[in-house]
Amino acid sequence: MFVFDQARLIKDGCQKNTCCEAKMVCTLVKAVDKRGGSSRSNDLHIPTYPTSVHLYNVHNHNIFVAEALRHRDVGAKAIESLTQLFEIGHSPTSALAVPKSDLLAEHGNKYVYASANRALCPDLQFCYRLYQKVNKQEFGEGMLAALERQVESYNAACDDSCAKLAMSSAGTPLVAICSPLMKRTHSLSNSGEMCFMDSSGNMDRENCRVFLLLTHTCAGGLPLGIVKTQSEDERTISEGLELFKSLLTKDAFGGRGEAGPCVFLTDDSKAEKGAIAQVFPEATQLLCIFHLLQAVWRWLWNKEHKVEMKDRQTLFSIVKDMLYAREMSTVELLYQQALNNPLTTRYKKFLTYLQSLYSRRHTYTVDMDLELCTCPAGHSGAPCKHQAAIVQNYNITSINFLPTTAEMRAELLKITKASIPQSPVRRMLGLLSELAENSDYNGQAV
């Protein structure tokens, strides 16, 4: 005999304990007696279903409430709708938002009652289970084969080798992408000067890491490539970068080819820096100030370092002032002041951390006269009114502002279109620029 016990359900944390006496008793009935004869019971269900079920509906609470509907099975229509959403690329969270939106549009003010019905609006845990089931049916053991087909299909659509799939030494898949737009961006001289590399995680249920490579232009950051891995160790990243490099031509990175850009700008990741040093040994590596400050702030909030909340902002300002110093002598002066600061000496771990940052000061303090101004707005490379005045009055180019010359316009035009005869365009833009600069053009021929 089996008794459905609410107390057991309460113990598992499923619902509030009301000490309800309602129960369901299931008793297995013998369909055959000891002598092998049939049961004498007159119940027609006994031969097929030898079970006796008794319900005791003695509730001490109201069962006609919306909350009771959340225990219903998910309806077939809801399952079909979610399956279709998963097949077109929705995640469990985004797919669940669709039926919720439909119920809100249909029921209006009564949405709270309709959404409580699990048959119409499943819970998120069910959506995740269904999502995994659909993916397993679609890919199963041939997930890598399906991914390889996707890569081949993408290359066929691009009519070029723009993506590659390989296996790392750890046995995990690697994907490298250099789309037609990215390949055209490689033709810019800026791509050979500096490349930004940053990674993002938690992209999917496998926690894949996506490494994005960008370069700076007057139109903003433009992509150079993408590397996708399932690990963030140095060896895997280097293998991913090698796979990405196999997609490039000798004209990549502004004509530098396999040598890569002159400068790599990354966050303070030992694995990334080690991988770049292996694949692009000629490149100079610099730390991104934004990511470095972000890492410092996370370090200060780490409970293991035991920094009191009232002191975190002050310690953060010490590092920030060093990073934004305009001269190396100022960095050294601020560092010596920090060593003698009673607050820093109170936190031995922070003092060690600060010494580690100072030992790598040449990776984040660079002396360069490219797109910089001594004003507070432009000293870190941002555009300012002083740079704008020089660009306008002296007719020079700057990556911080929209293109002002025919050459810069033609460079951007190469990116927007795959194949354009550049010489006629360059001549046409040059004539228009010359006409505007050397005459009082008022809409009529001179």
What is the per-residue DSSP string for 286-300? EE-HHHHHHHHHHHH
Mean pLDDT of all residues in 216-235: 84
Q: Could you tell me which residue, 421 or 34, shows the higher pLDDT? A: 34
pLDDT of amino acid 422: 41
Report if residue 445 sits inside a domain: no
The reported pLDDT for the residue numbered 78 is 92
| pLDDT score of 81 | 92
User: If you write DSSP's letter for every residue of 132-179 in order, what string do you get?
Assistant: HHHHHHHTGGGHHHHHHHHHHHHHHHHTS--EEEEE-TTS-EEEEE--
Q: According to the model, what pLDDT value does residue 57 have? A: 83
Q: What are the residues whose beta carbons fall under 8 Å from the beta carbon of 306, sequence distance 6 or more?
A: 347, 349
* 19-23, 271-275, 413-417, range with greatest mean pLDDT: 271-275
Is there a single domain that holds both residue 202 and residue 269?
A: yes
pLDDT tens per residue across span 141-181: 456 777 788 888 888 988 888 999 888 888 888 889 998 88
Q: Do residue 237 and residue 178 come from a single domain?
A: yes
Would you say residue 330 lies in a domain? Answer: yes
Find the helix or strand (DSSP H, E) in which 73 lies: none
In 288-365, where do the E strands start and end?
Answer: none
Asked if 231 and 224 count as a contact pair (C-beta separation under 8 A), the reply is no
Closest C-alpha among 261, 252, 255 to residue 282: 261
- Is 304 contained in some domain? yes
Contact 244, 178 (CB under 8 A): yes
207: containing domain: 160-287
Whether residue 153 lies inside any domain: the answer is no
Q: What is the pLDDT of residue 100?
A: 92
Average pLDDT over residues 189-204: 80
What's the whole-number mean pLDDT along residues 303-318? 89
pLDDT of 158:
87
Residue 370 has pLDDT above 50, yes or no: no
**155, part of any domain:** no
| Residues facing 225 on adjacent strands | 213
Domain count, the chain: 5
164 and 70 in one domain?
Answer: no
pLDDT(315) > 80: yes
Same structural domain for residues 52 and 79? no
Domain-ending residue, one of 90, 107, 138: 138
Question: Mean pLDDT throughout 380-404?
Answer: 61
Average pLDDT value for residue range 344-370: 72
pLDDT tier, 445 (very low <50, low <70, confident <90, very high otherwise): very low
What pLDDT score does 101 carry? 92
Listed in order, strand segments (DSSP E) in 262-397 are 263-266, 284-287
Residues 6+ apart with CB under 8 A from 364: 286, 287, 289, 292, 323
Q: Are residues 354 and 410 in the same domain?
A: no
Q: What is the pLDDT of residue 133?
A: 83
Establish if 220 belongs to a structural domain. Answer: yes
Q: How confident is the model at residue 49 (pLDDT cuts 50, 70, 90)?
A: confident
What does the pLDDT read at residue 251?
Answer: 86
Which residues is 199 bridged to in the sheet? 211
Straight-line distance from the first to the last Cα atom of the chain, in angstroms, rounded to the nearest whole number: 104
| Residue 443 included in any domain | no
Instruction: Determine the average pLDDT of the residues in 41-64.
Output: 78
> Residue 15's pLDDT is what?
53
> 275 and 170 share a domain?
yes
What per-residue confidence (pLDDT) applies to 187? 85
pLDDT for 4 beyond 70: no
Residues 167 and 283 in one domain: yes
